Each structure stands twice: as C-alpha cells, then as structure tokens.
C-alpha cells in the first residue's frame, strides 16, 4: 500500500520526545498518537484559541530532549526558594521528571501519594477517562508523551490537614515537559494541594500539564496553583474535574509570570448539592500573555458555583478570559455567579473578556459580568494630594483591586507567598 501522509506540525514537534513509559492503557496512547498525526496546532481561527497564538511554542526546537542531567540542587535550595510551607509533603519534579532526592515529608495515613512512574496499571486505569482527545492536541500530546506526575489518592473519610505541595521546575533550553497528575479524593475526605511552577535557568521551554481530578461524594478539595515560570517560557495547563454529589471543589489560580500561560479548567458537576469555586488573578507586564478558559458544567440541580477572575495588565501584556457556565435542562435551582474584572495600566495592554452563560433550566439564579477599565485618575490625584507619590498611589490602587481575589486564598502560607512574589516582581506591598 502506498500511503502519502502529510505529517502535522505537532507530529514534527513530538518526533524527538520519548513515548510515555507510564502503565496507562495502550489503546489510549495509540488513540492519542493518532490524534497528533491528524491534528495541527490550533490557530486563531479556532474559536477556543482565538486570542492566543501558539507559533512560539510550535517553533521550539525539540531535538535533544533525552539524557539531560538534573540540576544540582539540594533540599535546602528547595526549602529556601520554592517551598511554600514547611508543613506537609513536598514533591519536586524537574522537567516532568520526579526528583525523589528533593522531595520530603511524612506520608499521612489514609493517602497514597507517589509518582505515576511507580503506579500499577490498575491504579492508572482512571487516566484519560473523561479527558477529550479529539481536536485537543495538548491533551493528546500529554497522554502519549507524559513523563511522570503525581498520583494522589485520598481514602474515604481521611482528612489530610497539611497541604500536599507539588513543585514543578523547568530547567534548560527548549525543554518540553509533559506532566500528568491524578487526584482522587474519596468520599467524605478532605485535602489541599498546592501546585507551583518555576523556572530555573530555563529558556524557550514548554510545560504541558494535565491534572485529572475526581472529587467523590461529600469530599472537599482545594487546589492552590501558582504560575511563576520566568519570561521566555510557555505553559499550558488543563484541569479536568469530576465532582460527585455534596462535594466542594475550589481552585485558586495565580498567574504572575511566564510569557504564555493558558489555563483550561473543565469542571463537570455531576452530582446534586455541589459547591464549586474558581478564583484567579493574573498580573502581567512586558509581553506576557495569560489566557484563562473555564467551563463549569452544571448537570445536576441544587448546586452553586462562584467564579471570580481579576487581572492587571501593564506594558504590552495581554489577557484573555473566557468563562463558560452551562446549566443543563434538569439542573434546576442552580446559583451560578461569574465575574471578571480588569485594569489596564498602559495604552498597549489589552484584554479579551468573554463571560458566557448557557442555561437550559428555567429555575436558576445566574449572573455574569465583565469590567475593564483604567485606574480612576481622580483617585490617583486624591492620593497624591496627600503626599503619596504617583507610583505608590497606583500601586496602592492596583493592589487593592487584585487583593479582592488574592485574599480568596485561605491558606495563609500560600497567601503570604503570593504576596512575596507580587512584591518581588512588581514591588507591591500589601
């Protein structure tokens, strides 16, 4: 047979990446590879990627991914620079590879926490169960080329008080990290997970992380996510969440650094009486681009979702917010609130904001709104008339604006750490 296959750009991109060694379903991997062969990087003609250009990711020269040496780091380095709190467990990954030498902590009772490379086929049977591959090249790439990631399974009724910290470091030039996390919270269980992303001497590197989350009946999960990979690096993150009845899921996404950041939050609310909270802050400068795409799909009645995203854009940075809330036909008595606020600090900064509601039920309470503005110049003058410099006056107002969503973070250590990064990068005091 004489086949003429025109390979996609994605196929060329992954050519040098080693196929996943994880014990995941072979058929799933084959399906992912097939998707990659026939699908190209999305362009701005694709609605979901209308405002986010991926050319710079596609242009990464991906040869020489193998045999990289890990950075010479100690636990002390992790502790002093990246660890958000000393409490709980800390797991460190470098370019998607688990670094047991840098990870530490006492394993709590009632939880199985280990890297995916150490998981059995049975444990990983859940992988890809509700993740779309078709037309989703980054999901497909992650499935076919995942190096490692964290497997967190909390037993029924287990309450894990101390946070589980996952620290992801990228290092080196043109590094591609496909990272896959599995999080299962058992019935009546409770846990808090911190995911933080940093760059260490990295350049033109790309992180593609997929986290699959199952929150069982009456379980509580909070994810605090911090994106602080340096400028010049690219990051795409997808959270696929399945909520069972009476459960609570909260995610706080702080995007403070990185040249291109895209977050896909797909929350399927599959049970009654659920609570879903999505909060996000993006504070950008230079040429940064941060795109938050969220979907909350209310399939069952008597649920509540609260979504608040706020952004501050300076210099030539750009932001995208696209929040979609679905309320299905039988999902009555839903309270869904969605709000996006933006402040543009320069004439060259911009935001594309699109809050969307699709409601098929008739007894619901939903609202959505989006605001974009500049700082109130009258207020700046008022502060200056009290002896405050123009710079501090603007900082005072911008930090007050963003603090509204940053303080949704309940974990004090994570909140303080976020504040310290805002101080480091923007010079703001809180």
Partner 1 sequence: MITIKNLHASIDGKEILKGLNLEVKAGEVHAIMGPNGAGKSTLASVLAGREEYEITEGSVDFDGQDLLELSTEDRAREGLFLAFQYPIEIPGVSNINFLRTSLNEIRDYKGEEQISAKDFMALVREKSALVELDAKLASRSVNEGFSGGEKKRNEIFQMAMLNPKLSILDETDSGLDIDALRIVANGVNKLKSPENATIVITHYQRLLDYIVPDVVHVLYNGKIVKSGPKELALELEEKGYDWIKAEVDAQ
**Smallest distance from partner 1 to CB 258, Å:** 26
Cα 133 to Cα 8, 32, 75, 129, 224: the distances in Å are 16, 7, 37, 10, 26
What's phi and psi for 301, nearest 5 deg? -75, 170
Which helix (DSSP H) or strand (DSSP E) does residue 398 occupy? helix 390-406
Is 401 an interacting residue with respect to partner 1 (CB under 8 A)? yes
Antiparallel, parallel or unpaired: β 111-115 and 150-154: antiparallel
Cβ contact 223:252 at 8 Å: yes
Stretch that binds partner 1, among 100-108, 124-132, 313-321, 400-408 (CB under 8 A): 400-408
Task: Characterise 377 by phi-psi region: left (phi > 0), alpha (psi -120 to 50), beta (else).
Answer: alpha
Residues 6+ apart with CB under 8 A from 337: 305, 306, 307, 366, 367, 368
Is 378 an interacting residue with respect to partner 1 (CB under 8 A)? yes
Residue closer to partner 1 by CB (options 9, 395) is: 395
**Smallest distance from partner 1 to CB 378, Å:** 5
Is 388 an interacting residue with respect to partner 1 (CB under 8 A)? yes
Is 345 an interacting residue with respect to partner 1 (CB under 8 A)? no
Q: Which of 275, 370, 383, 416 touches partner 1 by CB under 8 A?
A: 383
Residue closer to partner 1 by CB (options 384, 425) is: 384
Distance CA 97, CA 117 (A): 9
Residue closer to partner 1 by CB (options 25, 404) is: 404
Is 400 an interacting residue with respect to partner 1 (CB under 8 A)? yes
Is 381 an interacting residue with respect to partner 1 (CB under 8 A)? yes
Q: How many residues bind partner 1 (CB under 8 A)?
A: 20
Q: Which of 273, 372, 392, 416 touches partner 1 by CB under 8 A?
A: 392
Residue closer to partner 1 by CB (options 72, 387) is: 387
Residue closer to partner 1 by CB (options 62, 416) is: 416
Distance CA 16, CA 5 (A): 19
395: nearest Cα among 321, 343, 360, 322: 343
What are the strands, taking DSSP E only, across 122-189?
A: 150-154, 164-173, 176-185
Is 100 an interacting residue with respect to partner 1 (CB under 8 A)? no
Residue closer to partner 1 by CB (options 190, 310) is: 310
**Smallest distance from partner 1 to CB 200, Å:** 34
Is 363 an interacting residue with respect to partner 1 (CB under 8 A)? no
Is 389 an interacting residue with respect to partner 1 (CB under 8 A)? yes
Cβ contact 315:344 at 8 Å: no
Kindly list the residues in this chain that would bind partner 1 in the complex (CB under 8 A). 376, 378-379, 381-390, 392, 396-397, 400-401, 403-404
């Amino acid at each position: 047979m004489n086949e003429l296959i025109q390979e996609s750009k994605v196929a060329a991109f992954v050519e040098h990446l080693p196929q996943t060694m994880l014990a995941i379903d072979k058929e799933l991997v084959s399906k992912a590879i097939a998707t990659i062969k026939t699908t190209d990087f999305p362009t701005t003609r694709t609605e979901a990627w209308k405002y986010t250009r991926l050319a710079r990711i596609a242009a990464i020269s991906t040869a020489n991914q193998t045999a990289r040496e890990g950075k010479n780091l100690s636990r002390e380095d992790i502790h002093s620079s990246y660890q958000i709190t000393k409490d709980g467990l800390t797991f460190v990954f470098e370019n998607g590879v688990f670094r047991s030498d840098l990870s530490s902590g006492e394993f709590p009772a009632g939880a199985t926490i280990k890297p995916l490379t150490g998981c059995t086929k049975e444990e990983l049977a859940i992988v890809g169960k509700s993740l779309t591959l078709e037309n989703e090249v980054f999901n497909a790439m992650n499935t076919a080329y995942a190096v490692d990631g964290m497997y967190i399974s909390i037993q029924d009724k287990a309450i894990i008080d101390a946070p589980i910290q996952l620290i992801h470091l990228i290092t080196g030039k043109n590094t591609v990290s496909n990272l896959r996390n599995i999080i299962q919270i058992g019935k009546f269980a409770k846990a808090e997970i911190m995911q933080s992303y940093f760059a260490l001497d990295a350049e033109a590197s790309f992180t593609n992380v997929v986290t699959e989350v199952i929150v069982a009946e009456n379980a509580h999960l909070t994810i605090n996510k911090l994106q602080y990979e340096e400028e010049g690096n690219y990051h795409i993150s997808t959270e696929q969440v399945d909520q069972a009845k009476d459960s609570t899921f909260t995610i706080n996404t702080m995007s403070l650094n990185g040249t291109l950041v895209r977050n896909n939050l797909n929350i399927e609310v599959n049970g009654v009486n659920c609570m879903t909270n999505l909060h996000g802050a993006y504070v950008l400068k230079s040429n940064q681009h941060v795109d938050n795409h969220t979907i909350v799909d209310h399939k069952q009645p008597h649920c509540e979702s609260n979504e608040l995203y706020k952004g501050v854009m300076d210099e030539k940075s750009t932001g995208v917010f696209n929040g979609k809330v679905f309320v299905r036909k039988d999902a009555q008595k839903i309270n869904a609130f969605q709000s996006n606020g933006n402040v543009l600090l320069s004439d060259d900064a911009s935001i594309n904001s699109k809050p969307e509601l699709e409601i098929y039920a008739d007894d619901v309470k939903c609202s959505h709104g989006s605001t974009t503005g500049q700082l109130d110049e009258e207020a700046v003058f008022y502060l200056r008339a009290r002896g405050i410099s123009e710079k501090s006056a603007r900082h005072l107002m911008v930090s007050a604006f963003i603090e509204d969503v940053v303080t949704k973070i309940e974990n004090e250590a994570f909140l303080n750490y976020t504040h310290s990064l805002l101080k480091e990068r923007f010079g703001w005091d809180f």
